[in-house]
């Protein structure tokens, strides 16, 4: 579930120059799209809680995420098990040190859509998603953040619904909740966000350490 979630939520963090809180859904969507259109890359620390409904099991995780236009991503999990999920937009590497192996394959088509290419996808929010406030009667939470409920117009098994909590002043996404087709959820919280820091392309390729087995990704 971790791998799919990493691809789905690869890009649900953003920041933009401060702006006055928007008063309507249309204004919030417009400001959000403008923020994504200006973003070239980002780095953030994250905490994650994945809930598997069929097993009634919750698994926490944490690490650092790097994202860049063109479907480039790098998720580095520190807990509970070290793992790196890396893509240059064409190839995908999943490195698991505990198994001493890296799985390699073509990047899934999902990376070309709103899930992976978040700068393009959420830069066209209305084109990619049906958007509403989670609670139209009270569109902001107790902290004053906008809470948006997004349904992809072309749902994936790994992305049936997405709830974003967006800072009304900085436009950082404070939290993202991903729902898949089986009612499993992944809740991610983002901190220490750095935008447009000129992340090098080399960060989004993976060279296996000596002795690590290479296994086709299935």
Quick check: is 146 in a domain?
yes
Quick check: is 204 in a domain?
no
| Residue-wise DSSP of 75-98 | EEEEESS-EEEEE-SSEEEEEEGG
- pLDDT score, position 157: 79
Quick check: is 167 in a domain?
yes
What is the extent of the structural domain holding 77?
Answer: 2-197
49 touches 58 (CB < 8 A): yes
Rounded to two decimals, what is the model's pTM? 0.82
Between CA 90 and CA 93 the distance in angstroms is 10
Q: Which two tokens stand for residue 209?
A: 């350490």
Quick check: is 159 in a domain?
yes
Between CA 218 and CA 207 the distance in angstroms is 19
Quick check: is 138 in a domain?
yes
The number of CA neighbours under 13 Å toward the Cβ of 139 is 18
Between CA 162 and CA 160 the distance in angstroms is 7
Residue with tokens 């950082």: 172
Count the domains in the chain: 1
Per residue of the chain (218 residues), give pLDDT as tens: 555 455 444 444 443 444 444 469 999 999 888 887 788 888 999 999 999 999 999 999 999 999 888 888 999 999 899 999 999 989 999 999 999 999 999 887 655 544 444 545 566 788 888 999 999 999 999 999 999 999 988 877 788 899 999 888 877 788 989 898 898 999 999 999 888 999 999 999 999 999 999 999 87
Quick check: is 205 in a domain?
no
Q: Which two tokens stand for residue 109?
A: 């088509």
CATH number of the domain that 72 lies in?
2.50.20.10
Quick check: is 206 in a domain?
no
- pLDDT score, position 25: 94
Quick check: is 202 in a domain?
no
């Amino acid at each position: 579930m971790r791998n799919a979630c990493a691809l789905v939520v690869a890009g649900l963090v953003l920041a933009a120059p401060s702006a006055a809180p928007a008063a309507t859904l249309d204004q919030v969507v417009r400001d959000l799209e403008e923020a994504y259109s200006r973003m070239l890359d980002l780095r953030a620390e994250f905490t994650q809680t994945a809930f598997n409904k069929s097993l009634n099991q919750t698994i926490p995780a944490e690490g650092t995420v790097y994202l860049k236009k063109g479907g480039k991503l790098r998720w580095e999990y520190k807990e509970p098990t070290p793992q790196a999920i890396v893509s240059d937009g064409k190839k995908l590497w999943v490195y698991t040190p505990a198994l001493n192996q890296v799985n390699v394959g073509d990047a899934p088509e999902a990376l070309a859509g709103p899930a992976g290419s978040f700068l393009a996808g959420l830069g066209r929010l209305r084109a990619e998603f049906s958007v509403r406030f989670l609670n139209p009667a009270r569109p902001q939470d107790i902290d004053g953040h906008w809470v948006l409920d997004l349904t992809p117009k072309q749902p994936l098994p790994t992305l049936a619904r997405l709830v974003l909590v967006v800072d009304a002043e900085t436009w950082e996404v404070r939290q993202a909740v991903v729902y898949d087709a089986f009612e499993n959820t992944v809740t991610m919280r983002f901190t220490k966000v750095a935008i447009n820091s000129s992340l090098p392309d080399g960060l989004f390729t993976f060279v296996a350490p000596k002795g690590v087995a290479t296994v086709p990704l299935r």
